[in-house]
């Protein structure tokens, strides 16, 4: 399917790895110019090279911390300077620490809120004038299935990510018809985040091996496996495209059928 994204511009936050990178790759494959960002320069450069080898659009890589509003403003500004417009925004963020409620401090909750919610708020405020000016303005927020079904041991993700869905639901109505806004709710995909969560569970004695942890993550998925990140990226690219021009204010699980809500 041709998504007709050639020559359009997308900014994908927290995109030097994982689902953010997969989304940037999918958009670039469809011809969009893409800005990616991350804190680690080496990993960011490697991601840019991977996208250039995979897609057709141009790539701008900016080192930035999305919990710093000044960095966020710089990313948006340099994107528009480089490509002349900003048509699509994809907000992604690394996952907060895992663990049960009683192990989390107030500082952990505030940090998770900045990472997952305020990073999106700051980016939206900077990006909105450009998205509204575009003929195809869109925002896709990558969250998690934890926003509809709590995942054991992920209290920060369970509690805090839900605010992003409320934000999407609100602006989808306030900004229509100029800007569409949607949520994708990924389940388990084979990213460094899954590896990190399994390793943290191993440290707590919940699994004896990585393979046991991976099998446990796959056990309740009807498709009998975890996802490939590009399967999520393809959905993000579709939601950004004119093929989804009548889709806004929706939350779409991409989880192999695991979610029952």
The domain segmentation of the chain, as residue ranges, is: 9-187+228-251, 188-226
| Per-residue pLDDT at 1 exceeds 70 | no
User: Cis omega before residue 86 (within 30°)?
Assistant: no
Is the four-CA dihedral 164, 196, 145, 9 of positive or negative sign? positive
Cβ pair 178, 132 in contact under 8 A: yes
Average pLDDT score over the chain: 95
| Per-residue pLDDT at 260 exceeds 90 | no
Report how far residue 77's alpha carbon sits from residue 258's, in angstroms, rounded to the nearest whole number: 39
Report how far residue 217's alpha carbon sits from residue 215's, in angstroms, rounded to the nearest whole number: 5
Average pLDDT over residues 79-83: 98
Task: Based on DSSP, count helices (H) and strands (E) in the chain, helices before strands.
Answer: 10, 7
End-to-end CA distance of the chain: 30
Average pLDDT over residues 92-103: 92
46: helix, coil or strand?
helix
Indicate the fold that domain 9-187+228-251 takes in CATH.
Rossmann fold (3.40.50)
Confidence of residue 179 (pLDDT cuts 50, 70, 90): very high
Q: What kind and span of H or E run contains 185? A: strand 180-186
Percent of the chain with pLDDT strictly greater than 90? 82
Cβ pair 154, 106 in contact under 8 A: no
| Per-residue pLDDT at 192 exceeds 90 | no
Query: What pLDDT does residue 9 have?
Result: 98
């Amino acid at each position: 399917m041709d998504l007709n994204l050639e020559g359009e511009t997308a900014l994908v936050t927290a995109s030097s790895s994982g689902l953010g990178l997969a989304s940037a790759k999918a958009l670039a494959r469809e011809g969009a110019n893409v800005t990616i960002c991350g804190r680690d320069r080496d990993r960011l450069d490697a991601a840019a090279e991977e996208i250039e080898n995979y897609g057709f659009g141009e790539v701008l890589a900016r080192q930035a911390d999305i919990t710093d509003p000044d960095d966020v403003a710089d990313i948006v500004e340099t994107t528009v300077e480089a490509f002349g417009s900003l048509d699509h925004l994809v907000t992604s963020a690394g996952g907060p620490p895992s663990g049960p409620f009683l192990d989390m401090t107030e500082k952990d909750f505030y940090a998770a809120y900045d990472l997952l919610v305020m990073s999106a708020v700051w980016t939206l405020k900077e990006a909105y004038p450009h998205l509204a000016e575009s003929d195809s303005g869109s925002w896709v927020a990558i969250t998690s299935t934890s926003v509809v079904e709590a995942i054991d041991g992920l209290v920060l993700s369970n509690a805090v990510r839900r605010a992003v869905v409320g934000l999407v639901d609100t602006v989808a109505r306030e900004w229509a018809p100029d800007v569409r806004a949607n949520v994708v709710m990924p389940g388990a995909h084979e990213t460094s985040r899954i590896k990190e969560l399994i390793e943290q569970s191993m440290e707590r004695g919940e699994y004896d091996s990585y393979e046991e942890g991976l099998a446990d993550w796959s056990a309740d998925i009807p498709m009998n496996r975890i996802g490939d990140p590009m399967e999520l990226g393809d959905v993000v690219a579709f939601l950004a495209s004119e093929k989804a021009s009548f889709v806004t204010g929706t939350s779409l699980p991409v989880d192999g059928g695991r979610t029952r809500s």
